[in-house]
């Protein structure tokens, strides 16, 4: 292979040792082994700098690469963190020395592509956001343990309260921990805001609680309180860390379904420099929210989506789940449109892809999210939608006739006969004019009816217009007449 980078080094990283192969200043290559202690890594860094190394590539092995990156960062022209899948060696010839030499050789040929490593400030933000996510998951598991413990003793508290972590439920649980087992006394602690009746609450609290069960429930409640306190402390710390990035968080929060915590998690995973991905397609591919490519012999095989960053995918999943139930938005309409055809997982994947593409454009242009609306798909091709709806009616046995919608008719102003009597006297200056108006008012004359018909006069009703039968006809594009297959005209009230 042709050499593109002369002064380079390849590192094969392990938990207790690191194997380094470097190009020597006097010519040739040399391989050395160093422990992964901080003092030994500094010695390794100084040795590479003495040899004039400018480019370093190291294997991304678990979290073992992080201390090496922290010691080497800022001392070399370029550092590459390489995925082991992208530089597999020849099978049957794998040793630590050969791995470091193979990394060194690929780096010299310019065949390695580095993984995304954000700046130190963003990496420092990643750790607390990821740990907070783990704490929230642990809290969820602990609450589930509480449900199981109550179910074990026959207490159906979660059947009569909406939130088992609420104030009313907590007062009842604290009383159970202190040894109170009388259902009637426990039901009085529920308060008046519960929807369940006192009798229902009393029946739900009628269980067989023993001291051992009280001890377990108390321990679980203490664990939940400790987790809540830790989560609050991390919320405060993360909020202080993200103060300089409030403008970025404001843009991210404008996406439907993205809350404060989700926005912080997304920012910690993608950073602030979105220019690293040339296009939105590159960004979606890196995030793992687009179909994969697998073509062989002219045939397209499985297009399974590749795995993206785990923590970013978790944040996108939370945002997509929230957006899929937020009515009146484009993402909600997209999810509901794909759900019957593709299923929940694929519909949710499409929503995540839309969020990722929107984030790339928003962070690139510095613009807030502009929602297309829930009716976007209906307005995109109204003719196609009309044909679809007509076809559905015809399948039900109806004959559909489409006519252009008539504009709403304007009713002419008419003078009622009682107008002259309803006019109140005005000042003397205008009284003569009102008298002349009263004289000119003509009372309506009713026609003479034949003797065979009723002599009681009835006012002639004008022919009803389309707007009277269909109040919103002027707002629609066309009027649809549906004729039943029996030939009878539908009755109109």
Give residue 46's pLDDT.
95
Pairing of strands 78-82, 55-59: parallel
pLDDT of 461 above 80 = no
pLDDT digits (tens, 9 = 90+) for 354-404: 999 999 999 999 999 999 999 999 899 889 999 999 999 999 999 999 888
How far apart (Å, rounded) are the C-alpha atoms in residues 107 and 149? 57
Q: How far is CA 31 from CA 49, 404, 415, 439, in A?
A: 15, 83, 107, 120
- Residue-by-residue DSSP string for 17-62: EEEEEEE-TTSSEEEEEEESSHHHHHHHHHHHHHTT--EEEEE--T
419 band by pLDDT with thresholds 50, 70 and 90: very low
How far apart (Å, rounded) are the C-alpha atoms in residues 44 and 66? 15
The C-alpha angle with vertex 39 and arms to 34 and 43, in degrees rounded to 5, equals 60
pLDDT of 123 above 60 = yes
Contacts of 192 (CB under 8 A, 6+ apart): none
Average of per-residue pLDDT across 409-434: 50
Instruction: Check if the beta carbon of residue 363 is closer than 8 Å to that of residue 286.
Output: no
Portion of the chain with pLDDT greater than 90, in percent = 62
Q: Where are the beta strands (DSSP E) in 113-201?
A: none
How far apart (Å, rounded) are the C-alpha atoms in residues 28 and 13? 22
Residue 316: φ, ψ to 5°: -65, -35
pLDDT of 1 above 80 = no
Average of per-residue pLDDT across 233-260: 96
Long-range contacts of 216-221 (CB under 8 A, 24+ apart): 216/149, 217/146, 217/149, 217/150, 217/173, 217/176, 217/177, 218/177, 220/142, 220/145, 220/146, 220/149, 221/146, 221/170, 221/173, 221/174, 221/177
Give residue 411's pLDDT.
62
pLDDT of 482 above 80 = no
pLDDT of 293 above 50 = yes
Instruction: Check if the beta carbon of residue 59 is closer than 8 Å to that of residue 82.
Output: yes
Range with top average pLDDT, 87-96, 173-182, 263-272, 467-476: 263-272
- Residue-by-residue DSSP string for 414-456: ---TTHHHHPPP--TTTHHHHHHHHHHPPPP-PPPPPTTS--S
Task: State both tokens at 355.
Answer: 């969020």
Give residue 454's pLDDT.
45
Pairing of strands 299-300, 399-404: unpaired
303 band by pLDDT with thresholds 50, 70 and 90: confident
Q: Which residue has better confidence, 62 or 491? A: 62
How far apart (Å, rounded) are the C-alpha atoms in residues 36 and 12? 11
- Residue-by-residue DSSP string for 213-254: HHHHHHHHHHHHHHHHHHHHHHHHHHHHHTGGGHHHHHHHHT
Instruction: Check if the beta carbon of residue 364 is closer than 8 Å to that of residue 348.
Output: no
Average of per-residue pLDDT across 449-470: 46
Judging by beta carbons within 10 Å of its beta carbon (0-12, 13-18, 19+), is residue 69 exposed, middle or buried? middle
SS3 content of the chain, % helix, strand, coil (to 5): 50, 10, 40
Give residue 23's pLDDT.
92
pLDDT digits (tens, 9 = 90+) for 140-181: 999 999 999 999 999 999 899 989 999 999 999 999 999 888
Residue 138: φ, ψ to 5°: -65, -35
Q: Give me the residue label for tokens 């484009």.
A: 330
Average of per-residue pLDDT across 82-89: 82
Helix (H, G, I), strand (E, B) or coil at 480: strand
Give residue 475's pLDDT.
45
Average of per-residue pLDDT across 266-273: 95
Contacts of 1 (CB under 8 A, 6+ apart): 105, 108, 109, 111
Interhelix angle 310-323/344-365, rounded to 10 degrees, is: 100
Give residue 481's pLDDT.
54
pLDDT of 323 above 60 = yes
Q: Lowest mean pLDDT of 133-137, 365-369, 371-375, 417-421, name the range.
A: 417-421
Interhelix angle 310-323/280-287, rounded to 10 degrees, is: 110
Closest by alpha carbon to 320, among 114, 329, 3?
329
440 band by pLDDT with thresholds 50, 70 and 90: very low
Give residue 300's pLDDT.
80
Average of per-residue pLDDT across 28-40: 93
How far apart (Å, rounded) are the C-alpha atoms in residues 383 and 373? 19
Long-range contacts of 386-392 (CB under 8 A, 24+ apart): 386/478
The C-alpha angle with vertex 288 and arms to 283 and 292, in degrees rounded to 5, equals 105
Average of per-residue pLDDT across 279-300: 88
Q: Which residue has better confidence, 212 or 443? A: 212
Q: Which residues pair with 34 in a beta bridge?
A: 18
């Amino acid at each position: 292979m042709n050499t593109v980078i002369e002064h380079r080094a390849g590192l094969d990283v392990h938990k207790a040792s690191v194997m380094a192969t470097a190009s020597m200043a006097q010519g040739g290559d040399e391989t050395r082994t160093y422990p992964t202690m901080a003092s030994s890594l500094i010695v390794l860094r100084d040795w590479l700098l003495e040899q004039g190394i400018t480019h370093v590539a190291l294997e991304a092995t678990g979290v073992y690469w992080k201390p090496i990156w922290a010691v080497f960062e800022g001392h070399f022209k370029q550092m590459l963190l390489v995925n082991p899948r992208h530089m597999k060696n020849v099978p049957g010839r794998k040793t630590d020395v050969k791995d470091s030499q193979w990394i060194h050789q690929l780096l010299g040929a310019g065949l390695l592509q580095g993984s995304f490593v954000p700046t130190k400030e963003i990496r420092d933000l990643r750790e607390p956001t990821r740990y907070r996510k783990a704490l929230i998951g642990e809290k969820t598991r602990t609450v589930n343990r509480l449900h199981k413990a109550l179910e074990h003793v026959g207490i159906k508290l979660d059947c009569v309260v909406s939130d088992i972590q609420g104030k009313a439920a907590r007062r009842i649980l604290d009383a159970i921990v202190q040894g109170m087992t009388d259902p009637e006394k426990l039901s009085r602690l529920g308060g008046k805001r519960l929807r369940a009746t006192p009798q229902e609450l009393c029946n739900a609290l009628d269980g067989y609680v023993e001291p051992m069960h009280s001890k377990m429930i108390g321990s679980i409640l203490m664990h939940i309180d400790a987790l809540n306190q830790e989560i609050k402390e991390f919320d405060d710390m993360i909020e202080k860390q993200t103060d300089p990035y409030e403008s970025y968080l404001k843009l991210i929060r404008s996406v439907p379904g993205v809350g404060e915590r989700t926005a912080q998690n997304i920012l910690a995973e993608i950073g602030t420099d979105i220019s690293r991905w040339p296009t939105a397609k590159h960004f979606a591919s890196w995030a793992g929210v687009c179909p994969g490519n697998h073509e062989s012999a002219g045939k397209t095989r499985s297009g399974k989506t590749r795995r993206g960053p785990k923590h970013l995918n978790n944040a996108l999943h939370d945002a997509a789940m929230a957006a899929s139930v937020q009515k009146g938005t484009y993402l909600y309409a997209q999810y509901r449109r794909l759900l019957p055809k593709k299923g929940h997982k694929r519909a949710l994947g499409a929503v995540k892809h839309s969020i990722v593409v929107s984030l790339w454009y928003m962070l690139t242009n510095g613009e807030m999210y502009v929602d297309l609306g829930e009716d976007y798909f209906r307005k995109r091709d109204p003719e196609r939608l009309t044909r679809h709806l007509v076809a559905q009616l015809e399948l039900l046995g109806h004959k559909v006739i489409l006519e252009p919608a008539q504009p709403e008719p304007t009713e002419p102003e008419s003078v009622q006969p009682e107008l002259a009597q309803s006019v109140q006297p005005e000042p003397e200056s205008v009284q003569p004019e009102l008298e002349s108006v009263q004289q000119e008012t003509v009372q309506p004359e009713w026609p003479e009816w034949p003797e065979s018909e009723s002599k009681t006069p009835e006012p002639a009703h004008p022919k009803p217009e389309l707007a009277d039968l269909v109040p919103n006809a002027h707002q629609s594009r066309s009027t649809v007449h549906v004729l039943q297959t029996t030939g009878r005209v539908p009755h109109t009230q």
